[in-house]
Structure 1
């Protein structure tokens, strides 16, 4: 069972949702890149996940329960006291980050994150515009010009906000757009066009590189 809830107040618009998963049978859950960073409390304690650049299979036992707070792409800032790129493709226990989450109840996790948000600098205000422009299919050069940055400035701000450069971010947000379209029932040939891929072969190759499986398997 998996459910998401709106984040509620106190997160300054930087959190996408609060979620919970209870595994009903032993299985492997495939986590794919989405540009987000999550604070998760599970059977082994609390840890920070992401941002990912490739597939992350997670082996789960029957009855395992996970509770998470998912930051929007570019929303995490320095909440965990380390640069976002230091968390890239990592699963880091919060104790290694000097961060305490005494229990997995959503209210406790919420209070811990709200306190951190109040104590740290705000996220880069340009981050949502960067992600949205790349999601819309603009080139890295076009995005930099539109936002008034040099490409070097865009790279630096993208690394600080998302944990990787704009070219990787572009691949991730385009992949997520394609996945959303496919799950809505759009034909794969049309998904390729709408999501901004050169053709269906380009879509298939990128999905395989980012997820390790086909788009047909992911949309189930």
Structure 2
């Protein structure tokens, strides 16, 4: 069981969704450029931005409640740079100290309080240049250097801000975004051709999709995308 719901209006632009899951077996978690605040029976933690897929190690049928931030937006509410959380799972009590420990107890009693807790945090203003770069990459813009060149900041400044907000640089985020375009196209396409899916997602060819898929997920596209 996995289901998502939209965040309340005051959190849109900051939060992608609220979600609940209860999996009978371990599930492959694929990098998506997001950070999640996650509540289980015995832990409340931040799942940082991943650079590789991983298998959920929670006991089967554990009920999990989560809040997923939009790419590049979590640091506005969490108060720490996303790259400090890259490939990590950090307890809320470690992140926010005594206040985090109190919120952990509250969330374990009432996981549905996730959105209210984030809504009452001091939220930093959005970064318009960062949002522009993220939107262009998600739309398939290439190469990254050309996207950055059109923004009114130095490349060094923008890369530093991007890495602090997203958790890794624009090139890594582009690979992750492109893989998710391929997954989405495979889910909705009528074609069974991996070459066509690769082209539509923005890969140079099927071999390019094969390499990225293996490096990011440890699986072949035929396995991950359920194609023969």
TM-score w.r.t. the length of structure 2 is: 0.88
More helix by share: 2
* 1:101-116 equivalent positions in 2, closer than 5 A: 101=104, 102-104=106-108, 105-116=110-121
Q: 1:124 aligns with which of 123, 127, 135?
A: 127
Alignment partners' CA distance in 2, 1:40 and 1:168: 24
Is the 1:103–1:109 contact (alpha carbons within 8 Å) kept by the matching residues of 2? yes
Is the 1:188–1:200 contact (alpha carbons within 8 Å) kept by the matching residues of 2? yes
Is the 1:182–1:215 contact (alpha carbons within 8 Å) kept by the matching residues of 2? no
Moved over 4 A (4+): none
Q: Which residue of 2 aligns with 1:147?
A: 151
More strand by share: 1
Alignment partners' CA distance in 2, 1:132 and 1:140: 12
Residues 1:211 and 2:214 are matched in the alignment = no
Cα drift, residue 22 of structure 1:
1.3
Aligned residue pair count: 216
Residues 1:195 and 2:216 are matched in the alignment = no
Alignment partners' CA distance in 2, 1:112 and 1:154: 30
Alignment partners' CA distance in 2, 1:42 and 1:63: 11
* 1:30-179 equivalent positions in 2, closer than 5 A: 30-98=28-96, 99=100, 100-101=103-104, 102-104=106-108, 105-116=110-121, 119-135=122-138, 136-179=140-183
What whole-Å deviation, never above 9, does each CA across 1:83-135 have from its counterpart, x for those lacking one? 1100111111101011223124343111111111xx13123222332122123
More deviation in 151-160 or 90-99?
A: 151-160
Alignment partners' CA distance in 1, 2:5 and 2:215: 30
Gaps (5+ residues) in structure 2? Answer: none
Alpha-carbon RMSD: 1.6
Gaps (5+ residues) in structure 1? Answer: none
